[in-house]
């Protein structure tokens, strides 16, 4: 960044002019129609409006809108309307001018975008969690009006992140937190891959400065060796590509610090064991894009003739591109030194789309209206989620977040249709995605011709057939294993619908009961009936009747002179019709005083801490402390979703934590899921008690339609033992998953 301290006003003007000329030159060399006039006007307007205002770094404020406009054009690829709106994006927020002024000067379209940007400014998040979600929803709904609002906001955030070092540390933490929580996944969803990666890396740098530095220097230290390896690796391939007469770039790209760190965290491996530390990339030029796929495969053939390919790591994003339109061919081969190396093969156009999302499209398109068309196509992926937002804003945020983070899988219907779903999607999700009726009547799935329960998590490439039954009805337990936004929305609607039918049935029975006994209906009678059972209202009463929880009976009523009265109700056995429920051992779990056993150090030296109820970290977990209103430190797991939310709003209250020592046992919960079969429970118990000599505290087993569920509490010494235990249990026949619960 240029130093703006102690320079003359003339010099300052020259630097502003230079930044602006750089913006213009970039625009003029792009494929957009050359509408310089409006940009010029917006620049002058913004420059005068922000006159005399400086950023925290000391530079004149106008440098920020210029930088944002430059990102909007050169990194996102938008044209004059967006460039002008970006130049004006802080004018209404920070100066005396109004949206009406902007509209008078620049017309409706630009004014609307600036208005949208003003509405969502000041950070997406307010002080309270619900406000966060509401604002986020607002942000996405604003996109409904013009997706450029969110793209310019993305550029604004990117520039703020690039210049974050001039902010005080507590602000850095908060801004970095919300960037990672909201903006990076959104950038990913929009296909702005390069921006997503940069946002993640910058967030990581400010969230975990020491970790960032450590990984940065490990990457730097290994550079020389890497380059040497790469030139040995690439030489024989280059020779073949040259022989093909191709024009291409063959480069090596190191994973971002953030993704290296994430991999180390999730896989619990040291730096040296991150096998895909770097990837090689071949980007080739081709005259006709229709030749591109064939050329990708030709190159693939050449590479696999030189090196042995990894059988499970060929990714064909050519035939089925990702939802964000990513297209490429990935192959992992064994390099000359025995390490696996991933090679990504793409045409120039595919590469641009991968790096810059839809922005790359207009480089290849000319003609009016196409920008709008492309934008609306991208928008429709988001509006799908927005169609039926949940009344509870937080749920909505989580649903969205889930969708934004998830990477996709592609599954096939028996007819060979491809369906793209987020990773982790279950058979039930697929059923609901295909059709609501299919979802509500689904009893199982045939995954690659094998019968699987509704909760079965599908993998990319699976062929899945939905098995239905006319008597099946949607169940509230299903909420546990629908993960897609669409599935959740449709299941909720189906459950609501079903509840409504039961209420109607109950009302019918009630009315019939009255007329059978020659009782005239009255509101007093109804409220007397409700009051007798202390119910919330008539809906609840009718529901219980309709759901066979209350059977209407002659003995319930008495006819007296002053009228008919309900004397008493008999509730039916609440467990009637419920699933099989077996409780195996049930020794009440003792509360363990964790503090007596191990010590935890936080950055502020506070020692009165509590273990968070939401994620239950245990020694050995990566944790973060959160300072609550009473000055106590609540210790959360690093990847706790509650923490992620807190981080976004109260970043300054986070404390780094480290476990000092631990020597005793801790209580942990494991959830096991599978298909019920003879001996499954015995096998699990054997592993726990006999093979691993682990103390079991509590076990709860349910079996529902052949789907086996088991929750158990065990006493273990640290996180590693727990991981090992889960891995052992997963090997039991019939067991699908064994995961630690928080």
CB 725 within 8 A of CB 696: no
CB of 1 to Mn ion, least distance (A): 16
Residue 183 vs 481, nearer CB to Mn ion:
183
DSSP H stretches of helix in 466-593: 485-516, 523-532, 538-546
Residue 90 or 371 having the CB closest to Mn ion? 90
How far apart (Å, rounded) are the C-alpha atoms in residues 397 and 136? Answer: 7
DSSP H helices, 307-369, are: 348-356
Q: Does 156 bind Mn ion (CB under 5 A)?
A: yes
H-type helices in 547-697, by residue range?
594-597, 641-650, 680-685
Distance in angstroms (rounded) separating the CA atoms of residues 172 and 641: 20
Give yes or no: 622 in active site: no
Q: Residues 175, 180, 185, 191: is their CA dihedral positive or negative?
A: positive
How many residues contact Mn ion, by CB under 5 A?
2
Nearer to Mn ion, 157 or 196 (CB): 157
Compute the least distance from the CB of residue 90 to Mn ion, in Å: 5
Cβ-based nearer residue to Mn ion, 162 or 363: 162
Q: Give the N- to C-terminal CA distance of the chain in Å, as an integer.
A: 44
Shortest distance (Å) from residue 112 CB to Mn ion = 18
Instruction: Report which residue's Cβ sits closest to Mn ion.
Output: 156
Give the list of residues 6+ apart from residue 109 with CB closer than 8 angstroms, or none. 81, 146
Of 90 and 342, nearer to Mn ion (C-beta) is: 90
Query: Computed from CA positions of residues 519, 520, 525, 527, in that sequence, does the dihedral angle turn out positive or negative?
Result: positive
* Residue of 94, 134, 316, 388 with catalytic role: 94
Minimum distance from CB of 39 to Mn ion (Å)?
18
Judged by beta carbon, residue 69 or residue 714, the one nearer Mn ion is 69
CB 58 to Mn ion: min, Å: 17
- Kindly indicate which of the ranges 154-162, 228-236, 257-265, 548-556 contains the residues binding Mn ion, using the contact rule CB under 5 A: 154-162
Which contacts qualify for 403-406: CB closer than 8 Å, 24 or more apart? Answer: 403/189, 403/484, 403/485, 404/185, 404/186, 404/188, 404/189, 405/185, 405/188, 406/483
Per-residue x/- marks for Mn ion, 77-96, CB under 5 A? -------------x------
| R_g over Cα of the chain | 31
For residue 73, what are the contacts with CB-CB under 8 A and spacing of at least 6?
23, 26, 27, 30, 79, 82, 83
Q: Kindly state the smallest distance separating residue 157's Cβ from Mn ion, in Å.
A: 8
C-beta of 89 vs 112, nearer to Mn ion:
89
Kindly indicate which of the ranges 135-143, 153-161, 509-517, 699-707 contains the residues binding Mn ion, using the contact rule CB under 5 A: 153-161
CA distance 646 to 651: 7
Q: How many angstroms separate the CA atoms of 206 and 172, rounded?
A: 6
Minimal distance, residue 492 CB to Mn ion, in Å: 38
Least Å distance, CB 163 to Mn ion, is 11
User: Residue 15: exposed, middle, or buried by beta-carbon count in 10 A (0-12, 13-18, 19+)?
Assistant: middle
Q: Least distance from C-beta 121 to Mn ion, angstroms?
A: 7
Report how far apart, in Å, the C-alpha atoms of 706 and of each of 412, 670, 674 are.
Answer: 25, 20, 8
- Does 718 bind Mn ion (CB under 5 A)? Our answer is no
Stretch in the footprint of Mn ion (CB under 5 A) among 10-18, 156-164, 222-230, 280-288: 156-164
Nearest distance, CB of residue 646 and Mn ion, angstroms: 25
SS3 state of residue 62:
coil
What is the helix (H) or strand (E) element at residue 586, kind and residue range? strand 580-586
Which of 484, 471, 462, 421 lies closest to 442 in space, CA to CA? 471
Cα separation, 633 vs 627, in Å, equals 5
Write out the binding residues for Mn ion, residues 548-607 only, by CB under 5 A.
none
**Of 360, 363, 352, 347, the residue nearest 246 (C-alpha):** 347
Active site residue: 93, 373, 524, 664, which one? Answer: 93
d(CA 641, CA 742) in angstroms, rounded, equals 11
Parallel/antiparallel/unpaired status of strands 666-675 and 707-716: antiparallel
- Work out how close the CB of 23 gets to Mn ion at its nearest, in angstroms, rounded to a whole number: 15
Our CA angle for 316, 322, 326, nearest 5°, is 85
CA separation for the pair 657, 680 (Å, rounded): 40
| Part of the chain binding Mn ion (CB under 5 A), chosen from 150-158, 169-177, 488-496, 656-664 | 150-158
Cβ proximity to Mn ion: between 90 and 718 the closer is: 90
Show the tokens assigned to 651: 């970043």
Nearer to Mn ion, 195 or 564 (CB): 195
**630: CB partners within 8 A, 6+ apart:** none
User: Do β-strands 309-316 and 278-284 pair in parallel, antiparallel, or remain unpaired?
Assistant: unpaired
User: Is 323:410 a contact under the CB 8 Å cutoff?
Assistant: no
Name the segment binding Mn ion (CB under 5 A); options: 134-142, 149-157, 203-211, 244-252.
149-157
Complex with Mn ion: residue 166 or 231, whichever CB lies closer: 166
- Per-residue binding string, Mn ion, 31-70, x by CB under 5 A, is ----------------------------------------
Active-site annotation holds for 93: yes
Per the structure block, which two tokens stand in for 448? Answer: 């690659």
Q: Report in angstroms how near the CB of residue 158 gets to Mn ion at its nearest.
A: 11
Nearer to Mn ion, 149 or 454 (CB): 149
Q: Which is nearer to Mn ion, 156 or 352 (CB)?
A: 156
Active-site residue list: 93-94
Q: What are the residues binding Mn ion (CB under 5 A)?
A: 90, 156
């Amino acid at each position: 960044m240029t130093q703006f301290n102690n320079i003359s006003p003339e010099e300052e003007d020259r630097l502003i002019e230079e930044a602006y000329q750089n913006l213009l030159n970039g625009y003029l060399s792009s494929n957009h129609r050359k509408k310089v006039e409006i940009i010029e006007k917006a620049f002058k307007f913004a420059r005068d409006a922000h006159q005399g205002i400086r950023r925290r770094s000391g530079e004149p404020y106008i440098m920020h809108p210029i930088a944002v406009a430059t990102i909007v054009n050169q990194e996102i690829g938008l044209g004059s309307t967006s460039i002008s709106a970006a130049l004006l994006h802080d004018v209404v927020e920070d100066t005396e001018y109004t949206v009406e002024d902007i509209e008078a000067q620049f017309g409706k379209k630009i004014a609307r975008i600036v208005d949208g940007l003003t509405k969502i400014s000041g950070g997406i998040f307010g002080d309270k969690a619900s406000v966060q979600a509401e604002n986020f929803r607002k942000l996405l709904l604003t996109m409904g009006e013009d997706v450029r609002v969110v793209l310019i906001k993305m550029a604004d955030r990117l520039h703020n992140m690039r210049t974050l070092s001039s902010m005080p540390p507590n602000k850095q933490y908060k801004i970095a937190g919300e960037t990672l929580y909201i903006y990076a996944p959104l950038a990913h969803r929009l296909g702005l891959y390069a921006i997503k990666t940069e946002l993640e890396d910058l967030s990581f740098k400010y969230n975990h400065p020491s970790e960032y530095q450590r990984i940065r220097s490990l990457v730097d230290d290994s550079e020389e060796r890497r380059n040497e390896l790469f030139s040995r690796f690439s030489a024989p391939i280059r020779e073949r590509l040259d022989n093909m007469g191709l024009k291409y770039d063959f480069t090596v790209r190191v994973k971002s610090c953030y993704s290296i760190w994430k991999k180390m965290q999730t896989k619990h491996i040291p730096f040296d064991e991150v096998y895909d530390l770097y990837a090689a990339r071949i980007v080739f030029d081709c005259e006709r894009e229709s030749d591109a796929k064939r050329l990708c495969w030709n190159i693939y053939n050449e590479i696999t003739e030189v090196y042995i390919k990894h059988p499970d790591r060929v990714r064909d994003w050519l035939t089925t591109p990702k939802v964000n339109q990513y297209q490429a061919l990935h192959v992992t081969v064994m390099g000359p030194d025995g390490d696996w190396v991933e090679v990504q093969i793409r045409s120039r156009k595919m590469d641009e789309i991968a790096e810059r999302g839809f922005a790359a499209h207009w480089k290849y398109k000319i003609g009016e209206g196409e920008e709008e068309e492309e934008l609306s196509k991208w928008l429709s992926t988001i509006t799908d989620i927005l169609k039926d937002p949940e009344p509870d804003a937080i749920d909505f945020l989580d649903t969205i977040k889930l969708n934004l983070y998830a990477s996709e899988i592609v599954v096939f219907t028996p007819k060979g249709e491809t369906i793209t779903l987020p990773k982790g999607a279950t058979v039930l999700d697929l059923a609901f995605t295909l059709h609501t009726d299919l979802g509500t009547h689904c009893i199982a799935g045939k995954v690659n011709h094998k019968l699987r329960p509704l909760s079965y998590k599908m993998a990319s490439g699976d062929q899945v057939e939905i098995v239905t039954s006319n008597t099946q009805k949607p169940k509230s337990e299903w909420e546990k294993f629908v993960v897609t936004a669409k599935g959740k929305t449709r299941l909720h609607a189906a459950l609501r619908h079903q509840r409504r039918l039961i209420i109607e049935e109950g009302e019918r029975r009630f009315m019939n009961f009255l007329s059978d006994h020659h009782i005239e209906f009255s509101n007093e009678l109804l409220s007397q009936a409700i009051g007798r059972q202390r119910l919330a209202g008539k809906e609840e009463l009718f529901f219980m009747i309709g759901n066979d929880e209350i059977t209407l009976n002659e003995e319930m009523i008495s006819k007296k002179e002053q009228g008919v009265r309900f004397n008493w109700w008999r509730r039916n056995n609440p467990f009637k019709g419920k699933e099989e429920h077996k409780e195996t051992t049930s020794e009440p779990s003792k509360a363990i005083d964790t503090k007596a056993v191990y010590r935890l150090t936080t950055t502020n030296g506070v020692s009165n801490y509590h273990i968070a109820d939401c994620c239950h970290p245990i020694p050995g977990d990566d944790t973060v402390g959160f300072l609550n209103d009473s000055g106590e430190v609540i210790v959360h797991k690093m990847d706790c979703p509650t923490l992620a939310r807190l981080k976004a709003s109260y970043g300054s209250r986070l404390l780094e934590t480290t476990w000092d020592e631990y020597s005793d046992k801790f209580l942990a919960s494991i959830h096991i899921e599978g298909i019920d079969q003879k001996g499954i429970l015995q096998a699990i118990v054997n592993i726990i008690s006999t093979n691993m000599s682990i103390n079991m505290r509590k076990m709860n087993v349910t079996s529902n339609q052949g789907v086996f569920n088991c929750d158990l509490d065990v006493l273990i010494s640290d996180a590693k033992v727990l991981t090992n235990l889960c891995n052992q249990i997963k090997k039991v026949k019939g067991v699908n998953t064994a995961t630690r619960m928080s």
